[in-house]
Every structure is written in C-alpha cells, then in structure tokens.
Structure 1
Amino acid sequence: MDFNHYLSELSTSIQSIPSSDDFRFNYNIPEFRRLIDELTRKSQSMLNKIGSSDHIWGPGSSFPADIDDAYEWIVNANDDVLELVNEVVDEFHKVLKEQDMEEGEDGFFKIKKGKNGIGYFGDDGNETKPKVSFHVHTLRKPQYHYNLAVDNSNQPFEHVWLEKSEDGERFIHPLEKLSVLDFVDKDIENLVPLKPPPMECTPFKLVEEVNGLKELAAKLSSVNEFAVDLEHNQYRSFQGLTCLMQISTRTEDFIVDTLKLRDHVGTHLREVFKDPTKKKVLHGADRDIVWLQRDFGIYVCNMFDTGQASRVLKMERYSLQHLLQHFCGVTANKEYQNADWRARPLPDVMIKYGREDTHYLLYIYDLMRIKLFELSKESESPDDPLLDVYKRSYNVCMQLYEKELLTDNSYLNLKGLRRAGFNGQQLAVVSGLYEWRDVLARAEDESTGYILPNKVILEIAKHMPVTASNLRRLIAERSRLPYVERNHDIVVNIVRHSMQNAEAFEEAALRLKEEQAAFEEAALRLKEEQAASVSNVASVKDGTEAPQSHSSNSKDECAANGSIGIENGTIASTLKENGANTGACEATRLGNSVSEENGFPDKKGKKDIKVEQIGSSVNLPCHSILGNNAKCTITVDLDSDSDDMM
C-alpha cells in the first residue's frame, strides 16, 4: 500500500463519520462504538505508516501520540507536501524554459521563439538566461543514497594516513621530508608551451565505476604532470562533500564521480598524488587540499598553484576565469561555479563546465612558468619568482584539515554577534541556539546554516519569542527553515531557559561591547589618518610641504597588514604614507588579538575548553535547553536508507 493510497483511504473514512451531538448520541450504541474504535485503530495505523515514511519526511518523523502534537504534525506535513508540489512545479517550468517550451492553448507544449530565434523568457516577457540553483530541494541526499560513512563527532579529525611525530603530538605531512627546491623546474628557457586541442576533439571519460578508477590511476602513473580540480557542496552536510574530481593530462580529460566512488578514490589515487616526481597543477588550491585529505586521505606533494602564480605575476585578477580568458581566449560560464554538484545524472552543461576547469590548466601552467622566468631576468631582486610560487604552493599543501569543534565559547565566533550589542539575556539565547543547531547539524549531517542561519539566531535572540506563535511570526518572512518549523516548541524552550541563565553571560556581553567600541574607535582613527594622508599628498602637489610623521611604527611593521577588514564596512587600503601607519598598526593588532568577526580568540585557540566529546552519538550538555545538568543524546546513523525532508 503506497503513500497516496493511505491518504485516500483515510480521507474517505473520515467523511462518513457524524459530527457534534449526532456523534455523541450514536457513540452510545455498541455497534457504532465498535465501528468507530475499529476506524480509529485503522486511522492511527495509517497515520503511523504515513509518519514513518522516512523517504518523504526524513528519519525520526513518526506520528506523535499526543493529540495536540498530532494536529501540529499533520499541519506541518501538509505544508511539506504542498511545498514539495510547488518545488516540483517550479522545476518543471524551469525545464520548460531550458527546453524553450511553453504550454499552448490546446494543452500541448510547443517551442517558444523570440525575435532572434529560440530563447529564454522571464515573467516580464523579456529574454533572459535561466538561473542556476545552488540548492536543488528535490535532490535525495547522497549520504543516504550512497550510504556514505560520515564522522561528525565532536573530536579532532584523525589523519590516519599520516605518520605521527616521535612525541605523538602532531601528524607529519610527507612534504616535510622533501625540499621545495626538489620541485622547481630546471630548464625553463627551452620550454615550449603545449596548447591543448579543442575540448570536442579531446578524449573524455566520466569515471563512475571502480574499474574506470583503476584505469585512471594507471594512466596518471604513466605521465609526469596532470591538472586537478574539485567541485564541492557545503550546504547539505556538516563538514561538506566533495562531489566531483576533474583531472586532465596533456591528451585526455576525466571526471570522477567522487560521491559514487568515495570509498575507492583514496585507495587508487592516493599514491599518485603523493608521488613527488609527478607535478600536480591546481588553481586556488587552499580548499581543494583539505577536501582531498578529509574525504579521501589524499596528501599532495609537488604542486604548482596557478592562483599563487597569478599573485606573484601581479596579474589584473587572480581568478581562473580571468586566466582562461587572458591566456586561452576562453570565456568560462561561471554560472555553474556554485551549482548543486550533488545532481545526478550530471547535465552536459555541468560536465562541460567541469572539464573547462582543468582542460586548459597545463597550458596555462606552461605560459606562467615562462613569464615567471622572464620576470626573474628583468628584476633586480635576488628573490626568484618561480621559486616563490613553489614555496607558496608548498605551504598550501602543508595545511592539515581540522574539523569544526564545539566548545563552551564557540558561540562567540558567530558572525555579526559583536555588532549586535546584545545584553546577557540575549547572549544566553545565542549560546543556547548555537549549541542546539550544532548538535542537530552533526546528527542530521546538515550544515549549521541550513539548520538555523546565523542571521536567524541573531533575530531570535534580539526579540526572544517565548511562544510558538511569536516565533512563527518572527521567521515568517524568512526562507523555508524545515528544522525550525518542525521544532518550534524546542526553540521556544531554549529561549525561555536561556533567558533564565542571563547572569552567566553578563561578563561576556560587556566584553563584546568593549571590543566593538575599541574596534570602531580604531577604524575611525584609521579613516581620519587616511584622509590626512590624502590631504598631505594634495599639499605636496600644491607646493606646500607636508608635516613629517613621528610615528614609532615603521612601514615594515605594517607591510603585511595593509588591508584591514572592518565588520561595519570594509576599509581596504595599502598604506603608503607614514601618517597612516599608527592607526593601521593599532587596528591590525586589535584585529589579530581577537576573533576577526567578534573580538574573541580564534576557535582553534579554544580547543582546551572542551564540551563533552561526541563519540558514536552526539552527547552534549543541554543546560541551555533543559535548564539543568541533563544530557541530550542524538545518535548519528547515516546507514539507514532514509531521505532528507526536502
């Protein structure tokens, strides 16, 4: 019996029941009472079956026994169904637009033509391009679909593929045993750039099976260099998921489905990425390096980062899009940069985008090495630009992935918190909500932003709703928040109990306000000194001698800190005038002594403040939720064949 049949049978049964006084009169008749009891049993059974449909509602969504909770459950379930219908309809209309179709008066779908032929049309009738969604609601979560093993415990990430130091205190990256000089190219003068053939003329393989992965590993073992890029999704998992790996040699392009082959990628590609005799070319690899470690236990040796090279060459822009245009005359379609790469099967347009990211990269690598070599001959500086790029790339590879850990003070790093100016009561609410969403995000393997966005935490803490109806009104204008909608009572409970614990947060609230005031003062001083510097330059141009600065801070002291980010508005300035150095250094020291966003020490420095660690289950103190020392335990189980609520 399927889901639709349950609903149909239940609806039909209810229509035949008398209501009000007629019901009470008939219920005194034994035969009627027996039929009603039987109908109640069947209805309860059907509702339980509907509620246990994990592939529709998500895990742990059984029909509640309490009548009041049951009513709210049905209302929410009905809203979810309608929401899903709307999403399917929206997706349908999107497909129609992409296929240049429209519904005719006869009900059939026909090709739609514009003045210049077939095109896409917006609501206003003007031709437009279809938007690429970063989140497709109807996609089944790959964690469930591919039965992915995920460890979201509140414990440091274990780099099991690395050796440990003799004292056991740290992991040893294989690069530590190698020198940067081992990787620098020796004979650039005779280098001839090898331009790749057009993509349509280049052999391509989408690797979705283990045998294909083995063949790829063998091919990479036979070449001296290859280009790599990754596509990632952060929005629907706690730590993030690598969805694709693109690899190009001089003659072939490959795309590896790293969701389907997640458990096999490291086994077959780990050694070739580690091999110091093979050059790996990536662009802006800071995140790719740690994603490879986290998901596949892959550690990269001998990398050339074209993003770092673009900085050393002081190019106009550092993006891969700019490099493709500048060196290859290719205009990349960056609409798909933030697409939902969990989609399967992959549309052709997304495959094309993925291939572009690596297809030309080895050729760009050739051209950049030549430019770096020419720069070294032109420059009087003793520093070798090519060696500088390899040093930078080496440092990027040396990063080690660290899992986000929850501590007692983690909530202080919430973006926008310092500027909010909260009192102790409001800060207590922030702490409680922050802890709740962290527990739930780990258990459900969702991003904290999907569970409860930062802005919504601040909005709830600002208004402190103490009833479910007030909470609903507060978030009514927000995008859909399924976990909040299903847990109105829990969120309100957190607000109530947190408010009672305000005294414990008064000191932190005062410190936040002091840090914000100091930061604003430093920013204001910096602006004033910048204005004075501009005035001094104008005076020099007019022939008037500018006054000399007597700052005790040298230019060198602040050379690395010319750009300073202020939460209330970015002040980006390369400080070339002595008069601006004092404020710049003071603001920089302030920014470095506290968290960039909230004026508190960085999260990494807080690892000594431990919340009870989450092992095979999420087990955290819930003082802010329950108002005592009780524990709340949520088991992480991604092995069940259940879908998310979306």
Structure 2
Amino acid sequence: MTDYVVIETDEAFVEACRILSGGSGPVAVDVERASGFRYSQRAYLVQVFRRDAGAFLFDPIPLTSFAPLQEAIGAEEWVFHAASQDLPSLHELQLEPARVFDTELAARLLGYERVGLAAVVERALGIVLAKEHSAADWSTRPLPNTWLEYAELDVLHLIDVRDFIAAELAETGKTEFAAQEFEATRIRPPRPPREEPWRRLSGLHQVRGAKNLAVARELWQAREDYAREVDVSPGRLVPDRALIAALMAAPPSKGALAAVTAFTGRASRSQLDRWWAAIERGRERTDLPRERVPSDTPPPPRAWADRNPEADARLKAARQVVEAHAEELGMPVENLLTPETLRRVAWEPPTVIDVDTIGQALAEREARPWQIEETAQRIADAFVEAAQTPAEPSDPAS
C-alpha cells in the first residue's frame, strides 16, 4: 500500500505550492472537516490536485499561512464537488477562489439521478471509489493511511470528471446555466446568525410556558458555550432530547437533576454544576421569551385554499408549468427555481402581473438571470390564467 504523506511544515508547504504553480489547467480542491465531532467547521485536511503537479495533502493546523497556496493557484479555476460545503472552511484559511466549477451542482443541472462524488466519478470515468470514511473524525491525529488514500482519491479524478461534465453541459446548452450557478455559490455570503437559535432545539414543541422556555434558552446557551470552549459538537456533549428531558422533569435540586434518567451525554454528569446553574438562571429571568414567534414566511401550502384561495390558485398553476419546464430541461425542479421562491411570489405577487414584474420579484429573491429567463414568462402567464379561472369550491370532507 502507498504511504501517503501529509504536509505539515511551512517549508514543505512552500515547496508543494511551487510545484502546483508549475502545473497546468484547473485545480481540484477538497476539504475534510470533523462535522458531528467538533464545534467548529474548520478544515482538518485540505487536498489539492493539478495536472503536471500531482496531488498534495495539507494539514492546516500546524501551517502558519495558506498565502503561498492562494498565490500559486488563486487565478485558476478551482474545481469542487459540492463547493458550498467547502468554501466556508477555505475562507477561514484566507483561500478565495477567483473562479469555481462544481461537479456536484453541474450533475444536478444535467439531471443525474445520483450526484454523490462516487456516483459521478463512476458515471464519468467508470472508476469505483470507496466512500467509507466520509463521516470520519478528521481531527484525529495521526490520520490513518486508509483515510489519507480516500482523501487523495477525492481530488485525483476530479479534473477528468470536470472535463466530462463540461462537455455534457455544452452539448445540452447548459454551460451558461452552470456558470451562473457556480458564481452565485462562489460569492454567496455566510448566512446571518439566527435571532433565537435556541428555538431549533429538537423537542422544544413539548415545552409550554414562557418560564420553561427561558430555562430551555439557558440550557441551550450553557451547552453552546461549553461546546465552543472544548471544541466538541454540542449534540455529543448532551443531546437535545436530554436537555428537554432535564427541563421537563422540573428538578427541584441539583441532586434531582442528576437522577433524571434521560439526562445523558458525555458531559451531563461531569458538568452537572453548569447545567443546574443554567436551570436556576432560567427560572430567575424576567426577560421571558415569546411563546409564539411571528413569521414573515407564508403558511404551509395546504392551508392556502382556506386562507388565501387566490394565492392557492396562483401557486398550483405556476407550480405545474415550472415542474413541466424542469422536466423539459432535464433537471430537478428545485434547480430551475426553488419551491420557496415560487411560494413567496405566489403569496405576495406584484400588483401588475407581467414578465418584467415577475422577473423583478424573482430577482429580489436571488433567482439567477437564467432562472428568470426560463420561468418568468411562464409564471406570469400562469398567474394571469389562474386569476381568470373561477376557483373550485373546496370539499368540506377533504
């Protein structure tokens, strides 16, 4: 078996970057994280391949700066499989591609039934890749040789796959579609933090009363702070279900909290003082959270017929034509236009319905120019037709 070398000194890194700068054509890049194990989404391995240069595995933890890599390949096209997953970790390393090509996103636009890397490599090149280490804890040191083999294979064939898919995009007239999608992925800003992220606790729907919600908020924040401190995924410290169980038990004392059977996790007992202090803080808070949070999102479509029958008619008519056109183009409907975008435009349409106003509404919801060109006229026609068609009476039995 080949012994794979991980570059972990600045001197070796600079030499590898010199070799990469002398390679030819696009550069394949991949990142391994420790999602589900660590709190952060930092990169624990960066893999790079370029023709006439070879493949390199970089350990970002001991390296001082990735500036030599940016200088070596920054102006070239960076090839990813699912770029949106890797770009945030690369941004943390100050690695900023000037252009990207995303083989996973392109495969979706081409209508591939399976778009995972192994499936796409097999379809394009007839090469079978093993994917048994995709969910591994890449913060492990030293990294096992079998993991490193897997990591290198993630980039070794990616340029050949890129060329195969680029030819298919050209043959199907989707090169420009893909280019706009790639650029949107490259420049997409990070999602803003949620206003009340603790409300995403699984099982929170069981909690009743503002005072209990205040305790849930404090428990979530205490776990978040500790997870950040020790760099461990919050759910590995104390699962959501355990936090909710501790809250629902309403323990009168720290000892009673320790006796809650369902309060489990690697830190549930060792950090008992932390959790009890959070419960006490929550019970003492006077700035209680709202029991119901107002939302600017439309209600579920199943409720539209009763709450807004005109919007329901618009959505049904437009969804039908958009789905039909996605089938004509040979791609999933969500890649032609996200269902959320269509729902929002159908719920709150422009005052005047025509191709320009619908196009503007789609653009305001970050639809790309190619998506607008392919759907705006169809949606406008569907909205107009829905307005002219008498609504069918709803069936009280349904």
TM-score (norm 1): 0.45
Letter in 1 for 2:159: L
Letter in 1 for 2:128: T
1 CA distance for matches of 2:73 and 2:277? 50
Query: Equivalent residue for 2:85?
Result: 287
1:410 aligned to which of 197, 210, 214: 197
SS in structure 2 at match of 1:299 = coil
1:221-370 matched pairs, under 5 angstroms: 221-222=21-22, 223-251=24-52, 252-261=54-63, 263-264=64-65, 266-275=66-75, 278-294=76-92, 296-370=93-167
Are 1:422 and 1:462, in contact at CA under 8 Å, matched by a contact in 2?
no
Query: Equivalent residue for 2:271?
Result: 487
Are 1:273 and 1:298, in contact at CA under 8 Å, matched by a contact in 2?
no
2:179 aligned to which of 377, 390, 403: 390
2 CA distance for matches of 1:558 and 1:433? 42
Query: Equivalent residue for 1:157?
Result: none
TM-aligned CA deviation for residue 557 of structure 1? 5.6
Are 1:239 and 1:403, in contact at CA under 8 Å, matched by a contact in 2?
no
2 CA distance for matches of 1:392 and 1:304? 9
Instruction: State the Cα deviation string for residues 102-148 of structure 1 (Å, max 9, x = none).
Output: xxxxxxxxxxxxxxxxxxxxxxxxxxxxxxxxxxxxxxxxxxxxxxx
2 CA distance for matches of 1:270 and 1:556? 49
1:22-33 matched pairs, under 5 angstroms: none
TM-aligned CA deviation for residue 334 of structure 1? 1.8
TM-aligned CA deviation for residue 204 of structure 1? 6.7
Are 1:233 and 1:240, in contact at CA under 8 Å, matched by a contact in 2?
yes
1:189-228 matched pairs, under 5 angstroms: 205-222=5-22, 223-228=24-29
Letter in 1 for 2:140: A
1:86-165 matched pairs, under 5 angstroms: none
2 CA distance for matches of 1:434 and 1:490? 11
1 CA distance for matches of 2:302 and 2:319? 18
TM-aligned CA deviation for residue 523 of structure 1? 6.3
Change over 3 Å in CA distance of 1:560–1:217 after alignment to 2: farther
SS in structure 2 at match of 1:230 = strand
**Bigger RCO (CA 8 Å, 6+ sep):** 1
2 CA distance for matches of 1:587 and 1:437? 39
Are 1:231 and 1:243, in contact at CA under 8 Å, matched by a contact in 2?
yes
TM-aligned CA deviation for residue 463 of structure 1? 2.0
Query: Equivalent residue for 1:425?
Result: 211
Are 2:301 and 2:312, in contact at CA under 8 Å, matched by a contact in 1?
no
Are 2:46 and 2:60, in contact at CA under 8 Å, matched by a contact in 1?
yes
Change over 3 Å in CA distance of 1:233–1:349 after alignment to 2: same
SS in structure 2 at match of 1:508 = coil
Query: Equivalent residue for 1:436?
Result: 222
SS in structure 1 at match of 2:61 = coil
Letter in 2 for 1:284: A
1:508 aligns with 2:290: yes
1 CA distance for matches of 2:104 and 2:62? 29
1:466 aligns with 2:252: yes
Change over 3 Å in CA distance of 1:433–1:415 after alignment to 2: same
Are 1:414 and 1:454, in contact at CA under 8 Å, matched by a contact in 2?
yes
SS in structure 2 at match of 1:255 = strand
Change over 3 Å in CA distance of 1:273–1:508 after alignment to 2: farther
Are 2:20 and 2:73, in contact at CA under 8 Å, matched by a contact in 1?
no
Letter in 2 for 1:206: V
Are 1:523 and 1:587, in contact at CA under 8 Å, matched by a contact in 2?
no
Change over 3 Å in CA distance of 1:422–1:248 after alignment to 2: same
Are 2:21 and 2:73, in contact at CA under 8 Å, matched by a contact in 1?
no
TM-aligned CA deviation for residue 272 of structure 1? 3.2
1 CA distance for matches of 2:82 and 2:90? 14
2 CA distance for matches of 1:444 and 1:245? 23
Change over 3 Å in CA distance of 1:250–1:386 after alignment to 2: same
Instruction: State the Cα deviation string for residues 30-52 of structure 1 (Å, max 9, x = none).
Output: xxxxxxxxxxxxxxxxxxxxxxx
TM-aligned CA deviation for residue 353 of structure 1? 0.6
Are 1:284 and 1:307, in contact at CA under 8 Å, matched by a contact in 2?
yes
TM-aligned CA deviation for residue 293 of structure 1? 0.7
Change over 3 Å in CA distance of 1:489–1:315 after alignment to 2: same
2 CA distance for matches of 1:588 and 1:492? 48
Change over 3 Å in CA distance of 1:462–1:212 after alignment to 2: same
Are 1:236 and 1:450, in contact at CA under 8 Å, matched by a contact in 2?
yes
Change over 3 Å in CA distance of 1:346–1:446 after alignment to 2: closer
Instruction: State the Cα deviation string for residues 296-317 of structure 1 (Å, max 9, x = none).
Output: 1111111110011101101111
Letter in 2 for 1:215: E
**Structure 1 gap ranges (5+):** 1-198, 377-384, 530-548, 563-572, 576-580, 591-646
TM-aligned CA deviation for residue 329 of structure 1? 2.5
Instruction: State the Cα deviation string for residues 433-459 of structure 1 (Å, max 9, x = none).
Output: 122223333333333334433332222
Change over 3 Å in CA distance of 1:471–1:421 after alignment to 2: closer
Change over 3 Å in CA distance of 1:231–1:390 after alignment to 2: same
2 CA distance for matches of 1:317 and 1:451? 34
Are 2:311 and 2:347, in contact at CA under 8 Å, matched by a contact in 1?
no
SS in structure 2 at match of 1:335 = coil
1:496 aligns with 2:252: no
User: Between Structure 1 and Structure 2, whose CA radius of gyration is higher?
Assistant: 1
Letter in 1 for 2:197: S
Query: Equivalent residue for 2:368?
Result: none
Are 2:6 and 2:57, in contact at CA under 8 Å, matched by a contact in 1?
yes
Query: Equivalent residue for 2:239?
Result: 453
1 CA distance for matches of 2:255 and 2:224? 24
Q: Percent identity?
A: 20
2 CA distance for matches of 1:588 and 1:458? 38
TM-score (norm 2): 0.71
1 CA distance for matches of 2:29 and 2:185? 15
Letter in 1 for 2:283: M
Change over 3 Å in CA distance of 1:343–1:411 after alignment to 2: closer
SS in structure 1 at match of 2:51 = coil
RMSD over aligned CA atoms reads 3.6
Are 1:289 and 1:399, in contact at CA under 8 Å, matched by a contact in 2?
no
2 CA distance for matches of 1:587 and 1:421? 34
TM-aligned CA deviation for residue 363 of structure 1? 0.7
